[in-house]
């Protein structure tokens, strides 16, 4: 599996990215304030930077951690007998809930918000926004997932499925597309749609702290952070951060990398 996980992940990633990019180019939900070239160069470069940092922080990958834990007998699931089908379901639910709370804490803890704000400072939301995370946030996320995998003894196959789903849904729900409202409402009972996630990218802080789920919507419903409608409709929703206007300078790679270390606007989210 370690030899093939990279190929599987990259293949699924490129497939979903290409599909969503084509759809949003064909029927975009919203118009960007900056040229695509300006935003895409920096956003895609952040993917490369995050991958490089990830290799340094966790060379074995989270799948490798799962294989090692299984070989050593570490973790709850390596100590108790659980049917294979139930083990997979429980593992995926644990990982999914972990990412929900990780995301929520990155909004609530000022030091972590400094990192996550790089993602929210994008003035537009499209497929590349789902890849725009500060390398240090990527590193912390890897360590969180590795710790959970070790603690529970989550099997490598479940980790691989989850990692593929995590990347796929991040691209899917950031895509600049819009489902018909009637369909969106029905689908939104189960997964986070593009419209629901754009509410999360609102400049209005009370909306930014809603819809934390990356895939399914039930964690937000369960933990009372679900928002079905924004203050403004999807077409007029104000995206990004007020103190980070849509300029070419603010969209550059170096600006994004240094953003967490600057004082202005990094300690508290915009509330109004």
- pLDDT tens digits along 57-95: 998 899 999 999 999 999 999 999 999 999 999 999 999
Tell me, what's the pLDDT at 182? Answer: 95
Residue 131 located in a structural domain: yes
Residue 71 located in a structural domain: yes
Tell me the HSE value of 227 on the side-chain side, using a 13 A CA sphere.
25
Tell me, what's the pLDDT at 221? Answer: 97
Query: Helix, strand or coil for residue 134?
Result: coil
Query: Helix, strand or coil for residue 191?
Result: strand
Residue 46 located in a structural domain: yes
Which of the 8 DSSP states describes residue 210?
A: S
How many independent structural domains does the chain possess? Answer: 1
Q: What's the rounded Cα separation, in Å, for the pair 169 and 152? A: 24
User: What is the pTM for the complete model shown?
Assistant: 0.92
Residue 206 located in a structural domain: no
Residue 81 located in a structural domain: yes
Residue 244 CB neighbours (<10 A): 23
Tell me, what's the pLDDT at 171? Answer: 96
Given a contact cutoff of 8 angstroms between Cβ atoms, the answer to whether 215 and 238 are in contact is: no
Residue 235 located in a structural domain: no
Domain of 130?
2-177+244-261
Residue 96 located in a structural domain: yes
CB within 8 Å of 171: residues ≥ 6 apart: 13, 16, 17, 20, 127, 130, 131
Residue 33 located in a structural domain: yes
Q: Give 202's strand partners.
A: 239
Q: What's the rounded Cα separation, in Å, for the pair 63 and 5? A: 8
């Amino acid at each position: 599996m370690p030899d093939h996980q990279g190929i599987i992940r990259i293949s699924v990633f490129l497939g979903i990215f290409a599909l969503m990019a084509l759809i949003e180019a064909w029927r975009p939900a919203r118009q960007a304030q900056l040229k695509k070239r300006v935003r895409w160069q920096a956003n895609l470069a952040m993917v490369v930077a995050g991958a490089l940092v990830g290799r340094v922080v966790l060379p074995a990958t989270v799948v490798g951690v799962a294989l090692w834990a299984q070989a050593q007998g570490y973790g709850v699931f390596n100590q108790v007998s659980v049917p294979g089908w139930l083990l997979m379901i429980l593992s995926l639910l644990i990982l999914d809930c972990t990412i929900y709370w990780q995301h929520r804490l990155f909004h609530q803890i000022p030091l972590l918000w400094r990192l996550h704000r790089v993602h929210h400072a994008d003035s537009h939301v499209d497929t590349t926004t789902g890849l725009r995370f500060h390398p240090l946030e990527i590193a912390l996320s890897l360590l969180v997932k590795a710790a959970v995998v070790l603690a529970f003894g989550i099997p490598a196959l479940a980790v691989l499925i989850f990692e593929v789903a995590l990347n796929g849904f991040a691209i899917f729900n950031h895509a600049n597309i819009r489902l018909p409202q009637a369909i969106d409402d029905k689908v939104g009972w189960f997964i986070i749609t593009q419209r629901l996630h754009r509410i999360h990218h609102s400049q209005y802080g009370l909306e930014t702290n809603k819809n934390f789920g990356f895939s399914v919507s039930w964690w937000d419903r369960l933990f009372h952070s679900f928002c079905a409608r924004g203050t403004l409709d999807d077409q007029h929703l104000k995206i990004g951060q007020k103190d980070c206007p849509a300029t070419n300078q603010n969209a550059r790679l170096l600006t994004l990398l240094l953003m967490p270390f600057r004082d202005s606007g990094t300690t508290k989210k915009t509330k109004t």
